[in-house]
Chain A
Amino acid sequence: MASAAKRLEAVPGIPAPQIAFDGVTLVLGGKTIIENLSLGVRPGEFLCIVGASGCGKTTALRLAAGLYQPTSGKVNFDGQPMRAPRREIAIVFQDYGKALLPWRTAAGNVSLALEAGGMPSAERPARIEELLRTVGLPGHAGKYPSEMSGGMQQRLQIARCLAQEPKTLLMDEPFGALDAMTRQGLQDEVLSLVAASGATVIFVTHDLDEAIYLGDRVIGLLPHPGRIGIELSVNLPRPRDQLSTREHPEFLRLRRQLFDFVKATEQ
């Protein structure tokens, strides 16, 4: 634990982490889900987390969101202990169907975040329109979530998260339930949104290619209990491109390394 803590201390030239896990252990229902996890995420960094099903990816994200409190260790945000969820940290849930208010239209769902942020009602419509345009949903303001496709619903959830003006965006397999084409389109949109807003991102995915394509860094978790098994820096040029990035030798090398890791953990 001491060595882990040391790693997070300010190093000249490297900015202090926005989110810092310091020897975090989480026990739920008598089971250790996460053990001694230490991890720093720099402001503006795009961190991807991969790992087998049930290894604790969602749990780690919920710790970062303040939805869980660690059993021991600390989770810090901007140097302050995380005691509860905060508006600067937005979460995009995988099950978009459950995370949207079915009785509110697209505009109403985005409005929820603006209302919570205390924006006067006169200023909301313009901002809502802008956000819906940003995520590629102009002209759908009056639709209910149930009238939208899965991809549109997930865009809507992202719009609501952007309405929080988050410093950190946590995404839990946000595109897991979408088809390949929609998925690639949304990957690029998320990259450009994040580049524009400068937000820090922690992105959980099952898809190793997706992790390398999006991330500045990829972390692979080992299961039972969840801990870091591999950490890869992704030095691929940005902006990324669906064709050339995926054919880049470095991409292929990292992909190989990550596949080998996952394969080894499955045995």
Chain B
Amino acid sequence: MNRAALLWRVASFAVAAGFIALWQLIANLKLVSPVFLPGPDRAWASLVRGFSSGDLWSKLAGTLEHMAYGWLAASIAGIAIGAIIGSSRTMRTYVAPSLEFLRPLPVSAIIPVAIAMLGLTQAMALFVIAFGAIWPIMLATVHGFGAVEPRLYEVARSLQMSRLAVIFKIALPSASPDILAGMRLSLTVALILSVVCEILAGLDGLGHWVLLSARAFRSADLFAGVILLGITGYVTSVAMSLAEHKLLAWQAAQR
């Protein structure tokens, strides 16, 4: 890491520390009632308590599980459907516009439909999460497959490569930067929808924990849950960035 990057890193930590100090100050001065706003000290104590009793572990595991299954299902389906649409010019012309129309549809509008069909179940949660998370992945895949250098398809033709080989050796790797970027966007969507579904369906997870804490006016527990959700979002997105960096090492060489 060079000097400038190090300086930025230090500055960002300083800002974060500043926010926490401000939060503590507001709590200590009781600018907001402690019933609603615990200080960072109480939130931290609640976090430690939750983990040592094992309660938070199981809630965290629940949320991670919902998120992971929904995201993986969305990735597999999104890449497969996106590849089919993206690899044919006709499909791109005729199907892609309707996708663009469907995409801005708020997923929250789908939730009542999913509940009506599947009830307040894990299956409903999985469906909603996957449905919400599929869009960025699918659209990125369509775009990536459509943007493959035509020259490479000619190389493939002159090598008489099979259709399958063309997809796996040319189209997929060529589209991989787009696909991975889509998967990173979807990760956040999957986390948000996991929490929403847990709240709505009372499924075991951090969303449920946050809801129950709020109802019981246990503000410290509530904040502990929220902080943990923030950390989950941050860690998964960093992990995804690292994976991208590793998988796309060839792109770093290109710059």
| Stretch from B114-122, B153-161, B226-234 that touches the partner | B153-161
Q: Which residues of A contact B158 (CB under 8 A)?
A: 65-67, 85-87, 89-91, 164
> Taking chain B's interface residues, is the majority helix, strand, or loop, or is none over half, making it mixed?
helix
The CA of A93 and the CA of B154, in the complex, are separated in Å by 10
CB 8 Å contact bits of B240-255 with A (1 = contact, 0 = none):
0000000000110110
Q: Which residues of B contact A90 (CB under 8 A)?
A: 158
Q: Does A144 contact B (CB under 8 A)?
A: yes
The CA of A230 and the CA of B210, in the complex, are separated in Å by 84
Q: Which residues of A contact B251 (CB under 8 A)?
A: 102-103
Measured CB to CB, the closest approach of chain B to A176, in angstroms, equals 15
Measured CB to CB, the closest approach of chain B to A109, in angstroms, equals 10
Q: Does A264 contact B (CB under 8 A)?
A: no
The CA of A152 and the CA of B161, in the complex, are separated in Å by 25
Contacting pair B154 A116 (CB below 8 A)? no
Which of chain B's residues 82-130 have a Cβ closer than 8 Å to chain A?
Answer: none
Q: Which residues of B contact A236 (CB under 8 A)?
A: none
CB 8 Å contact bits of B128-168 with A (1 = contact, 0 = none):
00000000000000000000010110110111110001000
Q: Does B170 contact A (CB under 8 A)?
A: yes
The CA of A93 and the CA of B150, in the complex, are separated in Å by 12
The CA of A84 and the CA of B160, in the complex, are separated in Å by 9
Selected from B154, B155, B254, the residue in CB contact (under 8 A) with A144 is: B254
Interface residue tally on A, bucketed by range: 20 to 34
Measured CB to CB, the closest approach of chain A to B127, in angstroms, equals 34
Residue of A nearest to B162 (CB): A116
Selected from B152, B157, B160, the residue in CB contact (under 8 A) with A101 is: B152
The CA of A91 and the CA of B250, in the complex, are separated in Å by 25
Measured CB to CB, the closest approach of chain A to B167, in angstroms, equals 14
> Taking chain A's interface residues, is the majority helix, strand, or loop, or is none over half, making it mixed?
loop
Q: Which residues of A contact B151 (CB under 8 A)?
A: 93, 95, 98-99
Contacting pair A99 B254 (CB below 8 A)? no
CB 8 Å contact bits of B153-193 with A (1 = contact, 0 = none):
01101111100010001100110100000000000000000
The CA of A101 and the CA of B171, in the complex, are separated in Å by 11
Measured CB to CB, the closest approach of chain B to A105, in angstroms, equals 8
Q: Which residues of B contact A101 (CB under 8 A)?
A: 152, 169-170, 173-174
Contacting pair B160 A116 (CB below 8 A)? yes
Selected from B160, B174, B253, the residue in CB contact (under 8 A) with A147 is: B253
With A101-B170, A103-B176, A112-B169 known to touch, is A146 a contact of B253 (CB < 8 Å)?
yes
Q: Which residues of B contact A85 (CB under 8 A)?
A: 154, 157-158, 160
9 closest Cβ pairs, A-B complex? A116-B159, A146-B254, A98-B151, A144-B253, A85-B158, A103-B250, A85-B157, A103-B173, A116-B161
Given contacts A95-B151, A98-B149, A164-B159, 9 further A-B contacts (CB under 8 A): A84-B157, A85-B154, A86-B158, A93-B155, A101-B170, A103-B173, A104-B173, A116-B165, A147-B253
Q: Which residues of A contact B (CB under 8 A)?
A: 65-67, 84-87, 89-91, 93, 95, 98-99, 101-104, 112-113, 115-117, 144, 146-147, 164
